[in-house]
Amino acid sequence: MEPSAQARSLLRPVDEKGAHLVSKCWVKIMGLRWKVNWFILMGLVLCGVLFYVVTSPMIMNGGRNLKWKPMGLAGDSGEHSYSVWPAFSTESFLDSTFFKQRCAPDINYTMTNLVLVKKQWSTAEDVRCRRLYEKFVSIYTFEARNAPLKLPPKFMSKLKHWLGDSDELLKQAYNQEVIHVVSEYTREHTIFNSLRDKRPVLPPAESEEEYFQNLLAETAKDCDFCNYKQNTAEHVFGRLESKHSFTASNAFKLDTLHALVAPKKHDPLHWTLEEFLDLFDLVGTWLQKAHSFYPKARFPSLIWDVLPKCGASQVHPHLHVMLDPKRYHGQVEAWREGASDYFTDHGSNYFTDMVDIYSALNLTVTHGSAVAFPNLVPKRDHEVIVISRDADKDFYKLLFLVLRAFIDSFNVKCFSMGLALPALDAMEGKIPAYARIITRGYVTDIRTDMSSFELFMAASVNIDPYKTVQTIRQFITKTRLET
Ligand SMILES: *[C@@H]1O[C@H](CO)[C@@H](O)[C@H](O)[C@H]1NC(C)=O
Ligand SMILES: *[C@@H]1O[C@H](CO)[C@@H](O)[C@H](O)[C@H]1NC(C)=O
Ligand SMILES: [Zn+2]
């Protein structure tokens, strides 16, 4: 059919010159378009090849099964679950008197002498000694290494001076003994050099007490946490308060459930048992509340750094509390995973067996159902671990005693603590209540005590755990708990 006159007029070029221009442009565009198309085609082919390379293992495995599953998470459905271990218990521990008589007699127990203890222990005939020895060597690799050196005369006199001008210590300096301890399940590695602990301790250049009092007065004037109602954020489910403590949401959150739990008092070093228990009571209440709003969130971990030297952003004391639906956070998950591997290998509770070893070695103090001991693989000076089956009163009372011993007996002004509590409403992955506390040197010393050595290699620690436990024992003996 012929197009109508109107249609024909629409089809006809309006102006010959314009039409010429249009067709010229058209050719150019088509030339360009061809190149563009070519590039798009090549891009698509490349994407296809890449997609195939990345996904083909999954396709071969039936699509649903990842070739590399996340470690530690049993099962490959969306819901993961941890293994279930026997509950933590301190009932059948080897008594330290028995151990000293039957497993490794005639030795004065010190960190350095543990090498001798281990040697005797390995040949003990008693079956209980042998069973515990097997657990010990499976968890810890314990080795003394000789580190001799040569000294040019000038440097020798300098070194002697560092060693308090002691001939005896200088003699030891020529043939140092270094002890390496490796925790085979958590892969932690600590090196002790007892000579460093024997150096005379130089007092800090600036008085720690003066520094602390000034810092306290200065920061109290304008403290956000002292005026928490106006100056801190809240969780969507609201703020919790108790007699001595309050909760806030961290303003710059690291997780959905990331709370700050803090005492109302500004002073980070002086608190009573009542205030301390009130603080951790509120932690428990907050965790329950958060869990009721987010039922899947079950794995609680806490940290507490005291004073700027330790990395605290505010002088006002505050705990960071996290409740995670999938796993414990970071390092805590590494401890749990180590315990899980241990259960797979030995069928028993890692924490029970570890404390059994420390108890036999006369390194534990107990309070009711809770037990504390200086770690043989510490991250920093004095590290003490506190364990209890549940986050109960005994656990927090012993934690209080250990912290107070640090502050009052060791005269420590800055410490850091990491703490994990049993999973809420879950049997699996139920680690005991578990706290690790380290001290961080002089609060006035601006040199950081954390270097690439600690971050990427092994921790270098000088203080003998036997010294630590003795001071804590003395403190506990002279302290009467008020409640
Ligand atoms: C355990 O160590 C304490 C010192 O902290 C000491 O008084 C006690 O005699 C030791 N016990 C044994 C059985 O060696
Ligand atoms: C243990 O130490 C004490 C006091 O320092 C000493 O008298 C004793 O001989 C030592 N025992 C051993 C077996 O080294
Ligand atoms: Zn304050």
3-state secondary structure of 438: strand
Please indicate whether residue 470, judged by its CB atom, sits closer than 6 Å to ligand 1.
yes
- Residue 268 per-residue DSSP state: S
Q: What's the mean per-residue pLDDT of the chain?
A: 86
Least confident of 19-33, 38-52, 394-408: 19-33
Domain spans, the chain? 15-60, 109-198, 214-478
Residue 124 near residue 102, CB atoms below 8 Å: yes
Q: pTM score, two decimals?
A: 0.82
261-288 burial string, b = 16+ CB within 10 Å, else e? Answer: bbbbbbebbebebebbbbbbbbbbbbbe
Q: Whose CA is nearest to atom 4 of ligand 2?
A: 108
Is the predicted pLDDT of residue 228 greater than 90, yes or no? Answer: yes
Residue closest via CA to ligand 1's atom 5 equals 470
Asked if the model's pLDDT at residue 34 lies above 80, the reply is no
> Ligand 2 in contact with 92 (CB < 6 A)?
no
| pLDDT band of 7, cuts 50, 70, 90 | very low
Distance 111 CA to ligand 1 centre (A): 14
Distance from the CA of 84 to the center of ligand 3, in angstroms?
A: 42
Q: Which of 100, 106, 108 to mutate to test the pocket of ligand 2 (most atoms within 8 A of CB)?
A: 108
Q: Scanning the structure block, which residue is given the tokens 């428990």? A: 284
> What is the Cα–Cα distance from 470 to 465, expressed in whole angstroms?
9
Cα(278)–Cα(291) distance, integer angstroms: 20
pLDDT digits (tens, 9 = 90+) for 346-355: 999 999 999 9
Q: Give the pLDDT confidence score for residue 32 in this predicted structure.
A: 62
Tell me the CATH architecture of domain 214-478: 2-Layer Sandwich (3.30)
CA distance 201 to 161: 12
The CB of 96 under 6 Å from ligand 1? The reply is yes
In this prediction, residues 77-96 reach a mean pLDDT of: 80
Looking at all shown ligands, the one closest to residue 112's CA atom is 2
What pLDDT digit, counting tens, does each position of 264-320 carry? 999 999 999 999 999 999 999 999 999 999 999 999 999 999 998 888 889 999 999
Choose one of 103, 362, 464, 467 to mutate for the ligand 1 pocket test, by most ligand atoms within 8 angstroms of C-beta: 362
CA separation for the pair 357, 133 (Å, rounded): 8
Q: What local confidence, expressed as pLDDT, does residue 80 receive? A: 59
CB distance 225 to 232 below 8 Å: yes
- Please work out whether the CB of residue 117 comes within 6 Å of at least one atom of ligand 2: no
When comparing pLDDT for 287 and 453, which is higher?
Answer: 287
Given a contact cutoff of 8 angstroms between Cβ atoms, the answer to whether 163 and 198 are in contact is: yes
- Distance set, CA 220 to CA 224, 227, 246, 314, 412 (Å): 9, 10, 17, 10, 21
Both tokens assigned to 77 = 């459905």
Distance CA 110, CA 66 (A): 49
Is the distance from the beta carbon of residue 97 to the nearest atom of ligand 1 less than 6 Å?
A: yes
Q: Which residue has the CA at smallest separation from atom 8 of ligand 2?
A: 108
The pLDDT-based confidence of 91 (bands split at 50, 70, 90) is confident
Answer yes or no: is pLDDT of 152 > 80: yes
Index of the ligand 2 atom closest to the CA of residue 106:
13
Atom of ligand 2 nearest to the CA of 107: 13
Q: Specify the pLDDT at position 67.
A: 57
Strands laid side by side in the 459-461 sheet? 140-148, 175-183, 188-193, 459-461
Q: Give the ligand with the smallest distance to the CA of 107.
A: 2
What does the pLDDT look like over 241-263, one tens digit per residue? 999 999 999 888 889 999 999 99
| Residue 205: per-residue pLDDT | 84
Alpha helices in 324-451 (DSSP H): 330-346, 350-360, 393-404
| 115 pLDDT higher than 80 | yes
Measured from the Cβ of residue 157, the count of other Cβ atoms closer than 10 Å reads 12
Identify the three-state secondary structure at position 442: coil
Write the pLDDT tens digit of every residue in 58-73: 444 444 555 555 554 5
Q: Is the dihedral of CA 457, 461, 462, 466 positive or negative?
A: negative
Phi-psi region of 379 (alpha: psi -120 to 50; beta: other; left: phi over 0): alpha
pLDDT at 143 over 50: yes
Ligand 1 atom nearest to CA at 470 = 5
Q: Check whether 92 has a pLDDT greater than 90.
A: no
